[in-house]
Amino acid sequence: MFIDTHTHIYLEKFDKDRETCIKEALDAGVEKLYLPNIDLSSIEQIKRCIESYPDLCIPMMGLHPCSVSSEYEDVLKTLETELDSYPYVAVGEIGLDYYWSKDLIEEQKIAFQRQIEWACSRSLPIIIHSRDSLDDCIDMIDQCTDNSLTGIFHCFSGTVEQAERIIKLGFLMGIGGVVTFKNSGLADVVSKIPIEYLVLETDAPFLAPHPFRGKRNEPKFIPIIAEKIAEAKDMELVDVERKTTENALLLFGHSK
């Protein structure tokens, strides 16, 4: 069994053929899809997926850093109420994003910290978005006084040194399609990370792996990512499948 620990299959890009995409994912051996929230508008989209595929799709709740606006305080209040009203298994997708804009960095940090506190008070893992902000995200987790806090650094594409810092914090790293990109250098980094700290993800519909780069990403591509990890680490594919699945189930199992 494979697990896609991060997919946005609830988005409009899948509205025309979601059922087919999910069937193809199941046929590829992907048996669990974890759905991270983005903002207020995505809540009902996620719930519709959960209702349609309750044995496959699993919800998470948070405010994506790119959705942090000047009204973020009111949004966070609504999302925190929502977090306690539905069986969400993690707080996410949360974090910092300096790629698209640096206008609201302080607001992003406050929102990130607030949601870290939600997770700590509810013993939930967190799913961290860290585009162009990995060191700052690591630093904020490092400053957390709750040593039981754990989660996933989603779409990890950092250095070996950054991976070592993440491991010391007791967090996992989500590896997606970028590992298959020839010039990313991520496969070399992954080769040096213990498999116990890795999980698989697609971030569908974004960041499709080679040879589908530039096309819509889908959960059925998870085995392609696993194959690249197996190659990089000189492991059997079945062992990557087994261990990454165990890692994901252990992480989210503690939150149920």
What are the structural domains of the chain? 65-208+246-253 (3.20.20.140)
Query: CA torsion sign, 158 to 164 to 172 to 188?
Result: positive
- pLDDT, residue 256, reads 36
DSSP tag of 61 = B
Distances (CA, A) of 5 to 57, 114, 194: 10, 23, 18
- pLDDT, residue 102, reads 86
8 A C-beta contact, residue 151 and residue 89: no
Report the relative pairing of strands 172-175 and 2-4 from DSSP bridges.
unpaired
Q: Rounded CA gap, 99 and 69, in Å?
A: 16
- pLDDT, residue 3, reads 98
Q: Rounded CA gap, 124 and 208, in Å?
A: 28
- pLDDT, residue 172, reads 98
Alpha helices in the chain (DSSP H): 18-27, 43-52, 72-83, 105-122, 134-142, 160-168, 186-190, 222-233, 237-253
Walk along the chain (256 residues) and give the pLDDT tens digit of each residue: 999 999 999 999 999 999 999 999 999 999 999 999 999 999 999 999 999 999 999 999 999 999 999 999 999 999 999 999 999 999 999 999 999 888 899 999 999 999 999 999 999 999 999 999 999 999 999 999 898 999 999 999 999 999 999 999 999 999 999 999 999 999 999 999 999 999 999 999 999 999 999 999 999 999 999 999 999 999 999 999 999 999 999 999 844 3
- pLDDT, residue 100, reads 86
Q: Rounded CA gap, 31 and 20, in Å?
A: 14
